[in-house]
Structure formats: structure tokens, C-alpha cells
Amino acid sequence: MTTTAPPLDTHVPDWILCPGCRAPVYGKRFVRNDRVCPHCGRHSSLTAPERLAGLLDPGGAEPLVHPVRTGDPLGFVDVRAYPERLREARERTGLDEAVLCARGTVRGLPLIVAVMDFRFLGGSLGSAVGGLIAHAADTALRERTPLLLVTASGGARMQEGALALMQMATTSQAMARLDEAGILTMSLITDPTYGGVAASFASLSDVIIAEPGARMGFAGARVIEQTIRQSLPPGFQTAESLLSRGFIDLVCPRSGLRTKLARLLSFAAGEVEFLVDDTGDFYFMEVNCRIQVEHPVTEMVTGVDLVREQFRVAAGLPLELSQSGVAPRGAAIECRVNAEDPARDFLPTPGPVEEFTAPAGPFVRVDTDCFPGHRVSAAYDPLLAKVITWAPDRAQARERMRRALDEFHVSGPGVRTNIPFLRRVLDDPRFADGTHTTSLVADLTSQEPLG
């Protein structure tokens, strides 16, 4: 079995002997310091209510109610019956289960939190715990709110047998749904985090944070040593060792957690997409939390390297410019050159590229990874290149694009491109005077076939 810290006593004596450095610590000072030794920095256990109070804004925690109640599916009895152990754990901790879920804010930013409590049967992962974790994840998905999982567990709950092991799949699927939806997930690893929790949702978040000295692994160090009959290196399975091997993203002391979470929640790098009607009204479509395909147009008219700025934001650095410092200049047009056949409803035309001659010259930009010998795959977007032209006004930018497309040559067995169709768009009077709408493509494809 894995040796773990003793259950946390809510009564704090006048003096505490730190288990790390063996130094005496005044009890009230210890509590004020979030149960962190002021001498050696050792992080002692917190209860789930204490953890919520320390992470969320004061008065903002709203419990997530979910009708999950632990049963006794196996009629398990060791020294005591399983229901008796549950009743004792509830009376001692004041919790219904080994996880406490809540909705709240961190410095005003919304967050769904699920906090495990090691006092409740060692924070073991049973069917109710898995159901509550999945409910917290589903709530985050429904409300499109980031999710934080605070882990503290000795592993699966043996009294529930295979039902406990199945919770690894239940929670992993819930995390996968959040990942598909692009919703931020974070794990905070506290000491100890072992077994099925470490092997499932604790390791599946976008950002994995650990408190200093926290241990995480599937099996405990002593079990591994007895199995392999070798001594493990110092610090094995600790947060610092896991960080050096890339298993977690950062180690953060308890005093800095709120600040770190607020920074993670405030990160936003993306672009807004919208439509404009014939009266000049704007209609919001979506925010893409990534660089847009059309970003070179903005870069050409502003001179701002958007990719560089997004990398800076992702690295936690401030933007180097303000909105007032962005001065649009001139006009830019972008054409996406695809290996597709406009006459066949823009079906891709995969095959080998034998000739690839891109345009060049002042105020012409070509973004591409294509070359003679490149093969257009049927499995991916058949984008060959993006051509962008800039000029002092839109009319000149359009003329430069027409000339650039005339210089663009792509050929290969079976490979066709949409360049003829792009020329037709540029030549259309509605596009030339800026009165075109979303129906332009349908109108042009209904005309005579392109040669």
C-alpha cells in the first residue's frame, strides 16, 4: 500500500511540529499561512472547504448539486461494512463524498471547480466521485466555463471493485468532450495523487499544475521498489521530478495559486469573424481562438505580426501595442489557391505537383509550403498557397492580384486549381465596386464552365 499523510484534524494546536524540517510552528501562524511551513515551505493537506475558500473569490462559491449517492454494489465487508465506513467518513468530514464541486470566480473570472478531500476514505475514486467529476465537467461544457480539478487520492475505491475502475473511463470521456469543445481545463496536483485518478483526469487537462513536493504516480514508490527490486532516485514521483521530465507544466506554491489561475483564465488570443449587410450593419459569427487563415490581410494593412503577438500572449507576455497604436494603411486582398475543381462543386483534385511557379514582386506576399514534387492529398484541405497583395487603395490591390494570379502556374497529373475562378471573381463588377454579397459564388458557378 502507499504511505500517505494522516487525515487532517480541523483542530489546530498551539504549536505544530513540521513533518518536513521538524521545526516548531505556531499553530495560528500555520493556519494563516495556508498550512505551509514558514521555515521549509512544506505544504500540508487542506480540506476541500479550505481549498475552495483559498482559491475562489470570497462569498462566490455556489455548490454544484448532483443526485449521486454511493451505494454498496458488492456488499463489501472487511473489518467493517462499506456503508459503515461511508457513514463514519461523512460524520467526520461533513462531506457527502470525497469530492466537493462548486461554481465560482477567481478575481472575477468564472470557473467550475472539483476539489478532492483525502480525509474521505483516502480520496478514493468510486462511482459517486466519478459521477460528480463528470457532472462538473458537463456543467463546464454546458456553461462554456473553464474547469479546475484539484486532486488528492490514494487510488480506486476497492469496496466497489470494477465499478471504481470504470470511473477512469467515465471521467476521461468527460474531459475529452471539453477538449473537443475547446474549453480550458486545469489540474492542480496535491499530495498525494495516485492510482486511477493519476491515470485519468488528473493527467488529461490542458494545464497541469502541482504544489511543491506533491507526489503523483499510479503505484507508490515502495510498491515499485519491491517490484523491480531496485532503489528509486531521490525525489521520485515528486512535482519537481515530474516537471523536469515534462509530465506536468509548472510547480506553483500555494501562495501564488490564485494569481496563476487568474492569469490562465484571462489569457485570450483569437480573432473575431463577422458579416456586414448592405446597410453597413455588422453581424457577429464567431471568435476563433487561433490565428485566422486571412490574418495576412490584417498584417499587410497594419504592419503588425499577429502570429508573433499570439505567441507572446500564450507565453504570458503583454501585448506590445494598444488599439490606439494600430493605424490601418491602404488595402489588401487575399486569394486562397486550392487544388480543387470549381466546375465540380469545388471537389479536391489530389495528385502530384510537377510545376509550381508562384508570383513575386513588390507588395505581393505568398504563404505556401508547396513545391514541385509535392503531392496533394485527398485527406486534408487542398490549400496550395495564399496570395496577398497590398496597395494604397482597393482598386490597385485588385489589379495587383489579377496580375499575380496571371503569374501563378500550377500543374500536375489530375491537379486543377481554382485560379480561373478567382480571376472571374476579381473581374466581376460587383466585386470590383464592393457591392458583392455571399451569393456571388453561387452566381458565378452557375455561369458557363471555366476553361
pLDDT band at 447; cut points 50, 70, 90: confident
Domain containing residue 245: 15-266
The pLDDT value recorded for residue 316 is 63
C-alpha dihedral, 423 to 429 to 432 to 436, nearest 10°: -100
The pLDDT value recorded for residue 236 is 86
Q: Is the pLDDT of residue 358 over 70?
A: yes
Do 294 and 371 belong to one domain? Answer: no
Q: Is the pLDDT of residue 262 over 50?
A: yes
Helix axes 394-407, 419-427, angle to 10 degrees: 150
Residue 361 phi, psi dihedral angles, 5° rounding: 120, 175
Do 53 and 198 belong to one domain? Answer: yes
Residue 150 phi, psi dihedral angles, 5° rounding: -105, 115
Higher pLDDT pick, 297 / 181: 297
* In-domain check, residue 6: no
Q: How far apart are CA 338 and CA 346, in angstroms?
A: 9
Q: How far apart are CA 97 and CA 89, in angstroms?
A: 8
Q: What is the DSSP string of 134-165?
A: HHHHHHHHHHT--EEEEEEE-SB-GGGTHHHH
* In-domain check, residue 8: no
- 37 labeled binding residue: yes
C-alpha dihedral, 259 to 260 to 266 to 268, nearest 10°: 160
- Residue 221: C-alpha distances to residues 148, 198, 202, 217, 265 (Å): 27, 14, 18, 8, 34
Residues in the chain: 451
What's the CATH number where 149 sits? 3.90.226.10
Do 160 and 127 belong to one domain? Answer: yes
The pLDDT value recorded for residue 331 is 97
Q: How far apart are CA 37 and CA 26, in angstroms?
A: 10
Do 357 and 403 belong to one domain? Answer: yes
- Residue 393: C-alpha distances to residues 274, 389, 430 (Å): 22, 11, 17
17-72 confidence digits (pLDDT tens)? 998 899 999 989 998 888 999 999 999 889 999 999 999 999 878 999 887 667 77
Q: What is the mean pLDDT of residues 182-207?
A: 89
* In-domain check, residue 45: yes
Q: Is the pLDDT of residue 224 over 90?
A: no
Triad 276, 183, 202: Cα angle to 5°: 170
Q: Is the pLDDT of residue 124 over 80?
A: yes
Question: Kind and range of the H or E element at 288?
Answer: strand 282-288
What residues contact residue 162 under an 8 Å CB cut-off, 6+ apart?
none
The backbone region for 356, taken as left when phi is positive above 0, alpha when psi lies in -120 to 50, beta otherwise, is beta
The pLDDT value recorded for residue 100 is 94
Q: How far apart are CA 444 and CA 233, in angstroms?
A: 69
The pLDDT value recorded for residue 313 is 72
386-397 confidence digits (pLDDT tens)? 999 999 999 999
Helix ranges, 327-387 (H): none
pLDDT band at 1; cut points 50, 70, 90: very low
288-345 confidence digits (pLDDT tens)? 666 778 889 999 999 999 888 888 776 667 777 787 888 999 999 999 999 999 989 8
**CB 242 within 8 Å of CB 210:** yes
* In-domain check, residue 1: no
Q: What is the mean pLDDT of residues 101-121?
A: 93
* In-domain check, residue 10: no
The pLDDT value recorded for residue 197 is 87
The pLDDT value recorded for residue 271 is 65
Do 228 and 123 belong to one domain? Answer: yes
3 state SS for 89-135: HHHHHCCCCCEEEEEEEECCEEEEEEEECCCCHHHCECHHHHHHHHH
Helix axes 295-302, 306-314, angle to 10 degrees: 110
Q: What is the mean pLDDT of residues 201-223?
A: 89
- Residue 384: C-alpha distances to residues 348, 358, 360, 380 (Å): 11, 10, 16, 11
The pLDDT value recorded for residue 275 is 81
Do 114 and 256 belong to one domain? Answer: yes
Higher pLDDT pick, 167 / 359: 359
Do 239 and 309 belong to one domain? Answer: no
Q: What is the mean pLDDT of residues 223-247?
A: 87
Q: What is the mean pLDDT of residues 118-129?
A: 90
Do 323 and 339 belong to one domain? Answer: no
Give the residue from 219, 249, 266 where a domain finishes: 266
* In-domain check, residue 283: yes
Do 172 and 279 belong to one domain? Answer: no
Q: How far apart are CA 170 and CA 191, in angstroms?
A: 23
The pLDDT value recorded for residue 414 is 94
**CB 215 within 8 Å of CB 176:** no
Q: Is the pLDDT of residue 278 over 80?
A: no
Give the residue from 222, 244, 266 where a domain finishes: 266
* In-domain check, residue 275: yes
Do 340 and 299 belong to one domain? Answer: no
* In-domain check, residue 221: yes
Largest CA distance in the chain: 90
Secondary structure letter of residue 321 according to DSSP: -
Q: How far apart are CA 115 and CA 54, in angstroms?
A: 12
Do 181 and 275 belong to one domain? Answer: no
Q: How far apart are CA 343 and CA 116, in angstroms?
A: 59
Q: How far apart are CA 251 and CA 243, in angstroms?
A: 7
What's the CATH number where 396 sits? 3.30.470.20
Task: Select from 122, 124, 219, 112 the least CA-distant residue to 175.
Answer: 112
- Counted domains in the chain: 3
Q: And the C-alpha cell for 81? A: 461494512
Report which residue type is found at 121: L
- The whole-chain average pLDDT of the chain stands at 88
Q: Is the pLDDT of residue 4 over 50?
A: no
- 21 labeled binding residue: yes
The pLDDT value recorded for residue 384 is 96
Do 257 and 276 belong to one domain? Answer: no
Give the residue from 217, 242, 266 where a domain finishes: 266
- For the chain, the C-alpha Rg in angstroms (whole number) is 30
Q: What is the mean pLDDT of residues 259-270?
A: 80
Q: Is the pLDDT of residue 78 over 70?
A: yes
**CB 348 within 8 Å of CB 382:** yes
Q: Is the pLDDT of residue 5 over 50?
A: no
